[in-house]
Amino acid sequence: MHEIGVLYEAVKAVENVAVQNNISKVKQITLEVGELTGYLPVFFEKYFSVVTDGKEMFKDCELEIIIENGEGLCTDCHALYNVMKHEGKCPKCESRNKTILSGQQFRVKDISY
Contact positions vs Zn ion (CB under 5 A): 74, 76-77, 79, 90, 92-93, 95
Q: DSSP for 21-73?
A: TT-----EEEEEEETTS---HHHHHHHHHHHTTT-GGGTT-EEEEEEEP-EEE
Q: Which residue, 86 or 107, is less far from Zn ion as judged by CB?
A: 86
Rounded least distance, CB 4 to Zn ion, Å: 37
Rounded least distance, CB 95 to Zn ion, Å: 5
Rounded least distance, CB 105 to Zn ion, Å: 24
